[in-house]
Chain A
């Protein structure tokens, strides 16, 4: 079984969000970068578990500049066999999907996993773009993934419901919470990762279609109105009469 896991690089969850260049660029100063949690904790870890159970290979792919090597090595330290970096500045999901679709066609993978969304762009559409470009089935928002003889048994967690789904491979699946538990790389993994192959490939040059023209920060919250614990009922009155939310 050949698995491809798409990983993106995002600012650490506690990073301070600010912008430079007249609010057109994310300010990377003092920001730590991580693998997007959905890609790492759920997609990648589940892929590694499948490999440990049934054999096969796990390849990670990232579309990004040379700096992204750091998060790619982390993925290799967790246990991926090899990696592909498409050497480019990723500007939207369409552009990334077009480049990764080319890589995916080349590698004939049985399963392509991605995260349900990135925690910086919050797009949530990459998996669908990729599946359509590859004419493959697409199961989004999967919270559980098990291997059957020739197919996958998945759970999909959606608004108030859980669907149990059977899908044939090859297919594209986007992962969310529930699919696996986060892992920490061990010393052996970290040492081994240094010698694992990272293929750097040149992109085809597809351009982004929805670039971000500028960023802005939401207005600061006003002060919190405190209600005395002994007069908790007062809160309900305020919510009803002042905030008008109940």
Chain B
């Protein structure tokens, strides 16, 4: 019996969520006394593969076919199926990422396993905690049976890494053209050198209070100084001041960074729904009655155009001190 974890790679490097999912799977394996096996799909370096040992993985199965560098739903499902057979997996763990959300349901149906999506913590007495109602409540899920496919919500489980080294075996996956359900014709990088929003630990976000797109310079400077990713409220994306992929909230992306700084955003309930799981929320708004302050840990009542440059300067000083 074993727990199998899909450790995601991007551009040949293991992603942070690979270690997070592996550490979660390691906790699960410890609970049940099962072995922990990881599978990596596509190009990855030997050092990277062995480094999964840090998260408690003893054995890594590597399918190195470069056609797996990018996910398509059927090719990944086939590869994961081979890995699950090789590992004798009774539990499969994936990140609740764009990859995990796509593959987990397919593999669950294919192997007739029960799918437990988006969990936030290791199970207690067989129940898994999941955030629901866009962060406004928790649900405790009681899955049927013990053959499970579990996706772990990124940035929610805390984990520490050790110094283990995993052994690596290659995994043979026979792929033909018909194993790819679609063709990825082009990939556009939209992160502009920043950590993508769903993975960002620090986020600086701004809203309609900025008055116009030409004023985003001070937002980008603060984000740049902090090494943070920029985000925005929905109307700002809708009127085209900022790109759509920056829109956070109930109908945009839901994020849970360690720090969320909201500048000139009123804090409408639909906006909060996408950010209320952030560990620390800072609100900068000139209106002391702005609802966002009720959801904040720290606040400044003031004009963003005056306050934000001061913050940037203070961060610069802190870094140089």
A contact set with B: CB distance below 8 Å: 11, 13-14, 17, 19, 37-38, 41, 93-94, 97, 119-129, 131-133, 136-141, 143, 156-168, 171, 177-178, 209-218, 221-222, 224-229, 232-233, 235-240, 243, 245-246
Contacts and interface: CB of A to CB of B under 8 A. Distances in A.
Interface string B284-321: 00000000011111111111001100110111011000
Contacts of B247: 177
Interface residues of B, number: 94
28 contacts: A13-B270, A41-B251, A122-B130, A122-B131, A126-B105, A131-B73, A137-B74, A138-B73, A138-B74, A159-B196, A160-B195, A161-B187, A162-B188, A163-B184, A167-B183, A171-B182, A177-B251, A177-B252, A212-B142, A213-B140, A213-B141, A215-B132, A225-B299, A232-B311, A233-B310, A235-B311, A245-B279, A245-B280
Contact of A164 (B114, B188, B298, B317): B188
A143 B244 CA distance: 10
Given A209-B144, A227-B300, A245 B202 contact: yes
Nearest to B321: A240
A222 B108 CA distance: 40
A210 B115 contact: yes
A210 B306 CA distance: 51
Interface string B258-288: 1100000000011001000001101100000
A93 B117 contact: yes
B190 interface: yes
A246 B187 contact: no
Contacts of B114: 94, 209-210
Contact of B106 (A13, A128, A221): A128
A119 B187 CA distance: 28
A93 B132 CA distance: 14
Main secondary structure of the interface of A (DSSP, over half): mixed
A125 B73 contact: no
Interface stretch (B42-50, B96-104, B160-168, B209-217): B96-104
B66 interface: no
Main secondary structure of the interface of B (DSSP, over half): mixed
Contact of B109 (A17, A129, A218): A129
Contacts of A141: 98, 101-102
A106 B135 CA distance: 37
B97 A125 contact: no
Interface string B60-91: 00000000001001100100000000000000
B108 A226 contact: no
Nearest to A159: B196
Contact of A218 (B137, B197, B254, B297): B137
Nearest to A157: B245
B306 A229 contact: yes
Contact of B102 (A128, A143, A171, A240): A128
Given A163-B186, A211-B141, A213-B142, A128 B250 contact: no
A166 B313 CA distance: 47
A212 B297 contact: no
A132 B109 contact: yes
Contacts of A229: 300-303, 306-307
A198 B279 CA distance: 46
Contact of A125 (B104, B139, B244, B279): B104
A124 B101 contact: yes
Nearest to A121: B132
Interface of B: 70, 73-74, 77, 96-98, 101-106, 108-110, 114-118, 127, 130-145, 151, 181-191, 194-199, 202, 226, 244-245, 247, 250-252, 254, 258-259, 269-270, 273, 279-280, 282-283, 293-303, 306-307, 310-311, 313-315, 317-318
A119 B196 CA distance: 22
Q: Which 7 A-B pairs have the closest CB atoms?
A: A160-B196, A229-B302, A128-B105, A160-B191, A137-B181, A167-B182, A158-B98
A98 to B, nearest CB: 9
Contact of A210 (B141, B191, B259): B141
A218 B276 CA distance: 10
A235 B300 contact: yes
Contacts of A138: 73-74, 102, 106, 181
A232 B132 contact: no
Given A161-B190, A235-B282, A243 B98 contact: no
Contacts of B313: 233
Contacts of A128: 73, 101-106
